[in-house]
Chain A
Amino acid sequence: MKVIKSNTLVILLLGAGHGLNDMIAGYFLGNLVQTRTGLLQISLGLFLYNLLAFGGQYPVAVLMEKIKTPKKFLLLAYGLNIGGLVFFRFDAQLSIVFAGVASAMYHVAGGTVCAEKNKAVNIGLFAAPGVAGLILGGYFAYEKIAVSSWLFIAAVLILGFIVLLPARENKLYEAPKNEPESNKKFQLDQHDLIMILLLTIISLRSVIWDIFQLIHQNNYSWLISIAAAAFAGKITGGWIADRIGWRLYTFIALGFATPLIAFFRNEIILFCIGIGLLQSSIPSTTALLIQSLKGKTERAIGLSFGTAIMAGAVLFYTPIRAVILSSIFVWITGVIMLLLLFFTYHKNLRSIL
């Protein structure tokens, strides 16, 4: 069978598949919010989707490390998305469960393929369409525009593209091999510490992202602007980070994002630049995480796109929520992120500064 060989084309199509995957989820969840009257039923649906889509990524990553062929997971993810669209009219709950499992699989498998050479720009190209798809799907549901059949056609096309993907095994990214054997145990601990610091930074970044969703809730023009800023930020951030260094770029992006977000929350252009910078750190922090996990790409993607986001969301529901809407919280979080980033320096990771 003829397969798609261009790496850029594969990444762009997987990014499009990511956008569609999240659009389907946004459409299902948006419909749940619009049509179901009981708060418990809506909450349970959102809770289960988020539990599966975010919490499910790490188990999927562990499983994928054993099976080693992301293509199988991509196929299964789109099979579930198509199943969800077919069942949606009869059983919306079942569709939401399908969408949750599909999201967990697609994020890890697609992210792993795109991060194969551990380039931040490829991670950014894959990650960027997600938020656009999510907000568009939610918008269709909000406006009660029936798009199930269009989503079904698009999903079948993406499934066809996945079938044409080469069924290669994921070649794990090779970490630098200049580490002295005698220091192996010490180095491993250092890497673990760096991984924890990076995950904390990603979670805190996610909390700030969540906060401003809440501040501008019910304001769709602001939400679309925020999503567009995040979309552009992830692509340009990944591209620049590959050129000037992932860690240095993350410093600059978070350093500039913090004052813009804290001071200009009512100035749409400056605020969107801040949000764009904040979200532009996703590809570079993910690339750093892959490096710190010594090339365990699947696990790094699962942690970055799943576990850390879920940890951020959980923090959002703790008593700390009473203070997180203040500018002081954004400042403190920004400073903490920069300090934690400072401690991620490691001599064997010098190539990425």
Chain B
Amino acid sequence: MNTFLLDAGIGLASNILWILLLILFAVILIEAVVMVLFKIGNFWKAFSHSSIVNIVSTIVGYILINQLDPLSGKISSLEQWLIFYWVTVVMEGLLMMLLFTHTSKSKLWLVTVVMNLVSYVFLYLLTLL
């Protein structure tokens, strides 16, 4: 494993970090577009809020990977996807309620379910490539 020192971190001499950054950016963009389509804010507001919720849910997902690791033999891949999906929806839904204070809760939950459905389909398609 080839690593190198950043000024206050460690980098990896592999393209995978760049790919992860691109994937995160794509998901942020997808969810921002869904927010705009549901008319809960303009693009820049949607983009900034989408960045916040997706960075937080990525961190939660990263911690969750370790928790689900021992169960990997007991539950199917589809079940793992579903667990990740619902955890993300709950996490992002709660954050959305904090960020969009003037939008009704039912609409925010609907947006969260739909935007995550779209982004998870995108992520699933990526795994098939």
Contacts and interface: CB of A to CB of B under 8 A. Distances in A.
Interface of A: 22, 25-26, 29-30, 33, 39-54, 91-94, 97, 103, 107, 130-131, 134-135, 138, 206, 209-210, 213-214, 217-218, 223, 227, 282, 305, 309, 313-314, 316-318
Interface stretch (B3-11, B34-42, B85-93, B113-121): B3-11
Contact of A43 (B4, B9, B20, B58): B20
9 contacts: A25-B8, A42-B12, A46-B11, A91-B63, A94-B63, A131-B5, A138-B3, A206-B6, A217-B3
Given A217-B13, A309-B8, A44 B20 contact: yes
Contacts of A46: 3, 9-12, 17
Given A48-B59, A92-B66, A43 B17 contact: yes
B62 A213 contact: no
Interface in B44-99: 55, 58-59, 62-63, 65-67
A43 B12 contact: yes
Contacts of A227: 5
B6 A50 contact: yes
A83 B2 CA distance: 29
A316 B11 contact: yes
Contact of A313 (B6, B20, B62): B6
A131 B5 CA distance: 8
Interface residues of B, number: 28
B55 A51 contact: yes
A94 B59 CA distance: 9
A interface majority secondary structure: helix
Nearest to A107: B8
Contacts of A22: 8
Contacts of A49: 9-10
Contacts of A135: 5
A1 to B, nearest CB: 31
Contact of B65 (A41, A53, A134, A317): A41
Given A39-B14, A305-B7, A318-B18, 13 more contacts: A22-B8, A25-B9, A43-B12, A44-B62, A48-B62, A49-B10, A52-B59, A103-B9, A134-B5, A217-B3, A282-B7, A313-B11, A317-B21
Which of B1, B9, B11, B59 has its CB near the most chain A CB atoms (within 10 A)? B9
A53 B13 contact: no
